[in-house]
Amino acid sequence: MNLQGKKILITGADGFIGSHLTEELIRRGHDVRAFVYYNSFGHWGWLDESTNAIKSKIEVIAGDIRDPHGVRSAMHDCDVVLHLAALIGIPYSYDSPDSYVDTNIRGTLNLLQAARDLDVDKFIHTSTSEVYGSAQFVPITETHPLQGQSPYSATKIGADQIAFSFYNSFETPVSIVRPFNTYGPRQSARAVIPTVITQIANGNKKIKLGSLTPTRDFNYVADTVNGFIAAAESDKSLGEVINLGSNFEISIGDTVSLIAELMGEQIEIETDELRTRPKNSEVERLWADNSKAKSLLGWAPQYPGIAGLKYGLTKTIDWFKQPKNLNNYKANIYNT
């Protein structure tokens, strides 16, 4: 599908990945409508940090995906939907699982109902590698069993299945993109990489963390964004679940050491029980097989392997170290 001339709705455009995706589509000359979470301050989330040149070209609508009427109004006249809006913090899902069901499952249903009724050309639904739970085999293909090891991942499994059911039942043109561990500028401090960087950048020598043994497949945000766009453009993605991962595995402990090395600091790590997931909820291993994305989308990570991770981390560190950015983060407290 050629996206030129298409009206593109992005939900969650105010968030980490969503804001980068919105900006990249604008840079490519596309017509973008950004759906951001309503607040009384009139904030557009991370889109507030976009350049004036980009902001002037974005149509912004504030609302809530839990409101079916607002969702339908926002989707009116749109050809393509990139659905990224979700509650994503795993620790918070232990405290408030109801809100995750309402947002991640019912919110997704609202969007799918609207997409079906309004006859959109393409609906890209965002999944997560967390739906796989701890790897039963590696690298993880899209056929890996799904395991809800946290309320968050359970609701994302539910949302994925509802999206897929609309494709099977109503021929809604759904594709499911499943990013692994995206990192980069603007990421929430509930994730490990921003947590480490912000603590070190604030002068801390003792870094508080949870478990160091789990492994992750980290993807720089530009790669994830390019994967979303490739999925929207490819006719081969319809009815498919597609991993977006680097096909490179590294432990949390080794990642922390790498960040400290790149920042030129000697650190000590203190285990903080508040940052440790319940034993059976921790996902111990994630490592993506990205061959399907390569074959169907023609997508491949531009930040691959250890060299790519170092390059992406360097760009991320440089962004976080800027005072105006670092001041947005509360590195002295645990962010759920």
Asked whether the predicted pLDDT for residue 143 surpasses 90, the reply is yes
Percent of the chain residues topping a pLDDT of 70: 99
User: pLDDT band at residue 83, thresholds of 50, 70 and 90?
Assistant: very high
22 and 47 co-located in one domain: yes
- Within a domain: 199: yes
Question: Which residue, chain included where needed, has tokens 């991962």?
Answer: 245
pLDDT tens-digit series, residues 216-268: 999 999 999 999 999 999 999 999 999 999 999 999 999 999 999 999 999 98
Cβ-Cβ contacts under 8 Å for 318 (sequence gap 6 or more): none
Amino acid 111: pLDDT: 98
Phi then psi for residue 194, to 5 deg, are -60, -35
166 and 208 co-located in one domain: no
Which contiguous run of DSSP H or E holds residue 60? strand 59-63
279 and 290 co-located in one domain: no
User: pLDDT band at residue 277, thresholds of 50, 70 and 90?
Assistant: confident
Give how many domains the chain has, as a whole number. Answer: 2
Asked whether the predicted pLDDT for residue 279 surpasses 90, the reply is no
- Within a domain: 1: no
270 and 165 co-located in one domain: no
Q: Which domain holds residue 109?
A: 7-180+220-247+286-303
Rounded CA-CA distance 286/135 in Å is: 6
